[in-house]
Amino acid sequence: MKKSVLSSAIAGALLATSSAAIAQNTGPSPDMTLPEKGAFTCIEQSVSKVAALIDRQGCIASAGFYTLDGEVDYNGEGNCTIDDATIYVQTVLDNGRGTHQYTFMMDPGEIDDVDFVFLDGHFWYTANGEIMYARADFQLCVNNCGPSFPGRENYDEHVIKDFYADVNFLPERFVLDQGLEVITKNNWPRKKYRQNSRYVPPDGGLGTLAIDKVSIAPNNAPQCFIQYGATVDDFGGGIQFSGGVQVLPL
């Protein structure tokens, strides 16, 4: 577990999202590149694991800051590490219809001392990235996770997001998204989240990415914030990102 204080750069990125107006999805196509899709895939999958962690041990026990860094090559493939758990992304299909990417783990990894021992995730994007849909199955180890796996808990997540360019910032390319997520355990719903993000691509300098997720109770009252803030750089047609996830009880 690596919990620490937010840096000023990351806090600024988070503030940018919090202060941005949430508009209707009426903007133009985001024209997302393959490495950008791969970066969002890896980050979204990582944050979904944090949502399962919160369900496992509660928002107060999970509160803190977890590093989340990674890089994705020009072909949309790469990896990212959330705390001590590494997620890999592969591009299964990319054509005029859309993009299908796959997420997995090569080895078990920990987030806040909880073992994540399995991941099978799938992300689909429209060709220009206007819509993303994802589903993933993953397992947390509670105790005695031996060959017969008696101590594993089965989780899955489903996400749908709309991406669009913010015309208020043209001619620069700012990409916003709005989305919904559900976390289930043993196929039963556990948590639902609303989310939005603000992505400023690197253009001769560092870009930024900030994501807000808030869990919603049955009475539609907010319960727990998950926030991600990062700086973004490009290299050889790919993308690098470095930042962290903050869990904040409400």
In contact, 62 and 112? CB cutoff 8 Å: yes
For residues 2 and 67, is the Cβ–Cβ distance under 8 A? Answer: yes
The mean pLDDT of 69-91, rounded to a whole number, is 97
Contact status, residue 124 vs residue 163, Cβ threshold 8 Å:
no
119: burial class by Cβ within 10 Å (0-12, 13-18, 19+)? buried
For the domain covering 8-249, report its CATH number: 2.40.160
Does the pLDDT at position 129 exceed 90? Answer: yes
Q: Are 128 and 119 in contact (CB under 8 A)?
A: no
Question: Taking residues 90-109, what's their average pLDDT?
Answer: 96
Best CA proximity match to 39, nearest among 180, 174, 234: 234
- Rounded mean pLDDT, 135-158: 80
Q: Which residue from 175, 135, 245 is spatially nearest to 33, judged by alpha carbons?
A: 175
Average pLDDT, the chain: 87
Please state the domain extents for the chain: 8-249
pLDDT digits (tens, 9 = 90+) for 65-77: 999 999 999 999 9
| Segments in 116-208 forming alpha helices (H) | none
CA 29/CA 21 separation, integer angstroms: 19
- Report, as an integer, the average pLDDT of 166-194: 87
How many other C-beta atoms are found inside a 10 Å radius of the C-beta of residue 215?
Answer: 22
Q: For 179, what's the count of Cα atoms within 13 Å in the CB-facing half-sphere?
A: 27
> How far is residue 141's CA from residue 132's CA, in Å, rounded to a whole number?
29
Q: Give tens-digit pLDDT for 19-39.
A: 343 444 556 889 999 999 999
Give the whole-angstrom CA distance, residue 11 versus residue 16: 9
C-beta neighbour count of 212 within 10 angstroms? 20
SS3 128: coil
- Whether 5 shows a pLDDT value over 60: the answer reads no
Count of residues in the chain: 250
Residue 148's pLDDT is: 57
pLDDT in tens, 188-227: 999 999 999 999 999 888 999 999 999 987 776 678 999 9
When pLDDT is averaged across residues 83-103 and rounded to a whole number, the result is 97
Structure tokens at 196: 């939005």
pLDDT at 168: 74
pLDDT given at position 60? 93
* 18-32, 40-54, 134-148, 175-189: segment of lowest average pLDDT: 18-32
Using 50, 70 and 90 to split pLDDT, how confident is the model at 9?
Answer: very low
Compute the distance between CA of residue 118 and CA of residue 114 in angstroms, rounded to an integer.
13
